């Protein structure tokens, strides 16, 4: 048993030793194999690197050879181009030398011709001087005298012919203009026929009974005093049966007073507090009516950008009359007439219509501001940002300012047409003629006056004076004296322009 154990142990020891030896031998063999493989891989890498090096050297040599050949070719092409340019330059030099020779030959020929021309010119000058001497000898006058005589005769002929031509052209143009103007005006009048208006500066309010007059007056006159103080008008209560009269130069105030009184009469309660209440209501109604009237007038002529203050001033014209003609209706008529005439002349109709509608705008405030309504209206329009053309047409429509634009001429003509058409103004023909005759007679009464003519419906008087009796300074004094007499002796609306004309005419007839 022991022997078996010893043998087993010995066998185990021998096995372990054999395994160690065998493992060591195998490891050494593997190491040797790995080293062999590494040497082989290193040798292969060295051979591969040597091959790549040789290939790169070959490629470099080939690139150098290629670049060298390309540089040689480019150098050859540049050399050939330079040779061609040298040949061209040599050819140009030869051509320039030939042209220079020709130029020298031409210069010599020109010099010889100049010398020949100078000799000919001297000969001609001598011949012209001799001819001039002979002409002066034959004509018995110098060259300057002959020039002066010739120019004078030609100038006189030209003046005579131009004067005849201008006269004929002016006569023809005047005739054509008259025909054209008559046609345009007649067409405008036919297309614009407004209503006839007859209004006054007083308003009559009917009463239900005469007893109402006492109630209007009130105890100790307190009602009538309150009414007049509030409205600013005169309330006339006389013997007229069942009626009272409201009198005022301000048509808007008169209309407010009329509505107030009618409301009081309808209500029956007439006392100071009630008068104030009805006055405020009537004032609001009239203000609303003024605004609506202005807006309707602007809409009728196609104006949509008017200032609100101008619209209100237009509405106030509804209650204003001139010789019985309603001013707002007159302004609308002038606007339409101006637009029609502008269309006939091929002009833009918007500006004449606008100026025509606003031409009497000054009458809405002329009782508040001093001056003529034309200048007041122009100032108002300018203040409210209207254009210079519109302002000029407004200020010039009565000739107070010299007319400078065609729009102003159209408004002036339309205003005259609207005022002069039959039935437009209340004034009768007899009173109208008497007023004009009185104006002319007053001007004729001054010494030195040859004839006086009333123009523009009595708004202008033109006085022709005798030139040998009245000089220029005397004309100024005469106009001032006539103006003073007109202001003192005549009653007239607006203003009258006094124009003194002094001229001398000389007429000769060639037979």
Q: Supply the DSSP string of 21-72, one letter for each residue.
A: HHHHHHHHHHHHHHHHHHHHHHHHHHHHHHHHHHHHHHHHHHHHHHHHHHHH
Span of 9-23, 361-375, 429-443 with lowest mean pLDDT: 9-23
206 in Cβ contact with 200 (< 8 Å): no
Specify the 3-state DSSP secondary structure of 185: helix
Span of 84-98, 154-168, 463-477 with lowest mean pLDDT: 154-168
Confidence (pLDDT) at 202: 65
d(CA 142, CA 136): 6
- If one counts every other C-beta atom within 10 angstroms of the C-beta of residue 260, the result is 27
Confidence (pLDDT) at 178: 67
Specify the 3-state DSSP secondary structure of 411: helix
Confidence (pLDDT) at 428: 47
Confidence (pLDDT) at 199: 44
Does the structure show a pLDDT above 80 at 266?
yes
Does the structure show a pLDDT above 70 at 274?
yes
Q: Phi and psi dihedrals of 48, rounded to 5?
A: -65, -40
pLDDT digits (tens, 9 = 90+) for 165-189: 777 777 777 777 666 666 666 555 5
Q: How many residues can be counted in the chain?
A: 511
| Structure token digits, residue 345 | 């002349």
pLDDT digits (tens, 9 = 90+) for 416-440: 877 765 444 544 455 667 778 888 8
| Structure token digits, residue 506 | 């000389």
Confidence (pLDDT) at 198: 39
Q: Supply the DSSP string of 286-309, one letter for each residue.
A: HHHHHHHHHHHHHHHTT-----HH
By DSSP bridging, strand 460-465 and strand 497-501 are parallel
* SS3 per residue for 200-265: CCEEEEECCCCHHHHHHHCHHHHHHHHHHHHHCCEEECCCCCCEEEEECCCHHHHHHHHHHHHHHH
d(CA 486, CA 232): 32
d(CA 185, CA 191): 10
By DSSP bridging, strand 325-326 and strand 243-247 are unpaired
d(CA 408, CA 494): 19
- If one counts every other C-beta atom within 10 angstroms of the C-beta of residue 134, the result is 10
Token look-up 């020929």 returns 109
Confidence (pLDDT) at 245: 83
CA 121 to chain centre: 64
Confidence (pLDDT) at 413: 85
Helix 350-358 × helix 327-344 angle, to 10°: 160
How far, CA to CA in Å, does 343 sit from each of 336, 351, 355, 410? 11, 11, 15, 11
How far, CA to CA in Å, does 203 sit from each of 44, 234, 271, 334? 137, 11, 22, 27
Who has greater pLDDT, 277 or 138?
Answer: 277
Confidence (pLDDT) at 136: 67
- If one counts every other C-beta atom within 10 angstroms of the C-beta of residue 486, the result is 18
For residue 149, give every residue at least 6 positions away whose Cβ sits within 8 Å of its Cβ, in sequence order, or none: 141
d(CA 497, CA 402): 12
Eight-class DSSP state of 361: G
pLDDT digits (tens, 9 = 90+) for 35-57: 888 888 888 888 888 888 888 88
pLDDT digits (tens, 9 = 90+) for 142-168: 667 777 777 777 777 777 777 777 777
Q: Phi and psi dihedrals of 463, rounded to 5?
A: -115, 120
Per-residue exposure over 206-218, b if at least 16 CB sit within 10 Å of its own CB, e if not:
ebeeeebbebbbb
What is the overall mean pLDDT for the chain?
80
pLDDT digits (tens, 9 = 90+) for 287-311: 898 888 888 888 888 887 888 888 8
Confidence (pLDDT) at 477: 86
Q: Phi and psi dihedrals of 203, rounded to 5?
A: -125, 135
d(CA 330, CA 332): 5
Per-residue exposure over 46-58, b if at least 16 CB sit within 10 Å of its own CB, e if not:
eeeeeeeeeeeee
| Structure token digits, residue 464 | 């022709």
For residue 320, give every residue at least 6 positions away whose Cβ sits within 8 Å of its Cβ, in sequence order, or none: 251, 326, 327, 328, 363, 364
Q: Residue 161 — left, alpha, or beta (φ > 0 → left; ψ -120 to 50 → alpha)?
A: alpha
pLDDT category at 196 given cuts 50, 70, 90 is very low
232 in Cβ contact with 248 (< 8 Å): yes
Confidence (pLDDT) at 57: 86
Does the structure show a pLDDT above 60 at 191?
no
Q: Which fold has domain 202-420?
A: Hypothetical protein af1432 (1.10.3210)
Confidence (pLDDT) at 195: 46
| Structure token digits, residue 114 | 């100049």
Confidence (pLDDT) at 122: 85
CATH 2.60.40.10 is the classification of domain 429-501:
no
384 in Cβ contact with 310 (< 8 Å): yes
pTM: 0.49
Give kind and range of the element (H or E) at residue 460.
strand 460-465
Span of 87-101, 201-215, 353-367, 476-490 with lowest mean pLDDT: 201-215
364 burial (CB, 10 Å; 0-12 / 13-18 / 19+) is buried
CA 258 to chain centre: 45
Locate the domains of the chain by residue range.
Answer: 17-57, 128-188, 202-420, 429-501
Give kind and range of the element (H or E) at residue 155.
helix 143-191
């Amino acid at each position: 048993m022991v022997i078996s154990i010893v043998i087993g142990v010995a066998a185990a020891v021998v096995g372990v030793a054999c395994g160690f030896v065998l493992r060591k031998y195998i490891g050494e063999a593997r190491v040797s194999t790995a080293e062999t493989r590494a040497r082989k891989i290193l040798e292969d890498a060295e051979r591969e690197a040597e091959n790549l090096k040789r290939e790169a050297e070959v490629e470099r040599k080939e690139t150098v050879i290629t670049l060298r050949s390309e540089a040689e070719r480019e150098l050859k092409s540049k050399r050939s181009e330079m040779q061609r340019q040298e040949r061209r330059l040599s050819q140009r030099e030869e051509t320039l030398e030939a042209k220079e020779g020709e130029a020298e030959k031409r210069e010599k020929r020109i010099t010889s011709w100049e010398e020949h021309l100078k000799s000919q010119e001297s000969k001609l000058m001598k011949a012209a001087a001799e001819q001039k001497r002979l002409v002066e000898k034959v004509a018995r006058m110098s060259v300057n005298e002959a020039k002066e005589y010739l120019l004078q005769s030609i100038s006189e002929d030209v003046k005579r012919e131009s004067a005849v031509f201008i006269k004929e052209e002016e006569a023809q143009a005047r005739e054509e203009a008259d025909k054209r103007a008559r046609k345009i005006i007649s067409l405008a009048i036919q297309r614009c026929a407004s209503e006839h208006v007859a209004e006054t500066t007083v308003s009559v309010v009917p009463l239900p009974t005469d007893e109402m007059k006492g109630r209007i007056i009130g105890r100790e006159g307190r009602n009538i005093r309150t009414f007049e103080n509030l409205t600013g008008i005169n309330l006339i209560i006389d013997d007229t049966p069942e009626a009272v009269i409201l009198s005022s130069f301000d048509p808007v105030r008169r209309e407010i007073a009329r509505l107030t009184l009618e409301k009081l009469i309808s209500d029956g309660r007439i006392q100071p507090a009630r008068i104030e209440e009805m006055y405020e209501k009537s004032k609001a109604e009239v203000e609303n009516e003024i605004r609506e009237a202005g807006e309707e007038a602007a809409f009728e002529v196609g104006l949509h950008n008017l200032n609100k203050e101008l619209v209100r001033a237009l509405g106030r014209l509804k209650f204003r009359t001139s010789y019985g003609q309603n001013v707002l209706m007159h302004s609308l008529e002038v606007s339409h007439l101006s637009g029609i005439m502008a269309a006939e002349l091929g002009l833009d109709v918007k500006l004449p219509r606008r100026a025509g509608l606003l031409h009497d705008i000054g009458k809405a405030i002329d009782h508040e501001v001093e001056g003529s309504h034309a200048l007041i209206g122009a100032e108002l329009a300018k203040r409210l940002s209207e254009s210079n053309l519109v302002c000029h047409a407004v200020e010039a429509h009565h000739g107070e300012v010299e007319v400078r634009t065609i729009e102003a001429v159209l408004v002036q003509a339309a205003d005259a047409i609207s005022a002069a058409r039959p039935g437009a103004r209340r004034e009768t023909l007899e009173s109208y003629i008497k007023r004009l005759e009185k104006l002319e007679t007053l001007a004729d009464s001054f010494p030195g006056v040859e004839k006086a003519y009333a123009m523009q419906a009595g708004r202008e008087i033109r006085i022709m004076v005798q030139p040998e009796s009245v000089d220029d300074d005397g004309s100024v004094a005469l106009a001032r004296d006539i103006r003073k007499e007109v202001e003192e002796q005549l009653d007239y609306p607006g203003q009258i322009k006094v124009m003194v004309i002094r001229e001398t005419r000389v007429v000769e007839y060639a037979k």
